[in-house]
Amino acid sequence: MKWKVGDSAQLTAVVDDQRIRNFAVAVEDLNPIHLDDEAAMKSIFGRRVAHGMISASFISAILGTRLPGPGSILLGQSFKYIAPVYVDDIVTASVTVTAIRDDKPILTLDTKAVNQHGQTVLTGEATVLFRELDDWRERQS
């Protein structure tokens, strides 16, 4: 088996205005707290915040491209939002293998995202079925 407990991967991305607007359109969540400075100023945050699912989506990106990688099937994901992500924050999402099933190719992973200040913005856990896609990788090269 390729993976072991403790293996990890991460992804860092800027959550800028364009990313937030693209996400809003893609998922049809046009809540003004994400898109309108004036409306967001009246919120508990006092300014615009990114959709929480953007940070959660970074976890999905890691699972599908890095660990375990192409061919992975997300079986379940839980997360808790700890702090908001603001426009232009830099978010680093990470996953760490915490368990590997003996009977099936299933990993359990601790998931986390932090901002550029080292503040945790999201925590959770993911369960992933993994398969090697050697022929997919060969077609991509």
Task: Give pLDDT tens digits for 19-70.
Answer: 999 999 999 999 999 999 999 999 999 999 999 999 999 999 999 999 999 9
Q: Per the domain annotation, does 35 fall within a domain?
A: yes
Helix/strand/coil percentages in the chain, nearest 5: 30, 35, 35
Compute the distance between CA of residue 51 and CA of residue 42 in angstroms, rounded to an integer.
17
Q: Tell me, yes or no, whether 2 lies in a domain.
A: no
What span, in angstroms and rounded, lies between the C-alpha atoms of 15 and 116?
11
Q: Is the pLDDT of residue 132 over 90?
A: no
106-121 pLDDT tens trace: 999 999 999 999 999 9
CA distances 116 to 13, 58, 77, 89, Å, are 10, 15, 24, 7
Asked, for residue 114, whether it belongs to a domain, the answer is yes
Residue at 1 is within a domain: no
Determine, yes or no, domain membership for 3. Answer: no
What pLDDT, on a 0 to 100 scale, did the predictor assign at position 67?
A: 94
Domain of 107, CATH number, reads 3.10.129.10
- Confidence class for position 79, pLDDT limits 50, 70, 90: very high
pLDDT at position 136 is 45
53 located within any domain = yes
Q: Which pLDDT does position 44 carry in this prediction?
A: 94
Amino acid 1: pLDDT: 56
Statement: residue 138 has pLDDT above 60: no
Domains in the chain: how many in total?
Answer: 1
Over residues 86-101, the pLDDT tens digits come to 999 999 999 999 999 9
Is the confidence at residue 10, as pLDDT, over 90? yes
Instruction: Tell me if 55 is assigned to some domain.
Output: yes
pLDDT reported for residue 135: 44
Look up the domain containing 40 and give its range: 8-140
Cα separation, 132 vs 72, in Å, equals 8
CA–CA separation, 50 and 133 (whole Å): 33
Cβ atoms 115, 50 nearer than 8 A: no
Does residue 99 form part of some domain? yes
Task: Report yes or no on whether pTM surpasses 0.85.
Answer: yes
Q: Which of 17, 112, 98 is CA-nearest to residue 58?
A: 112
**What span, in angstroms and rounded, lies between the C-alpha atoms of 129 and 118?**
30
Segment (H or E) for 64: helix 52-65
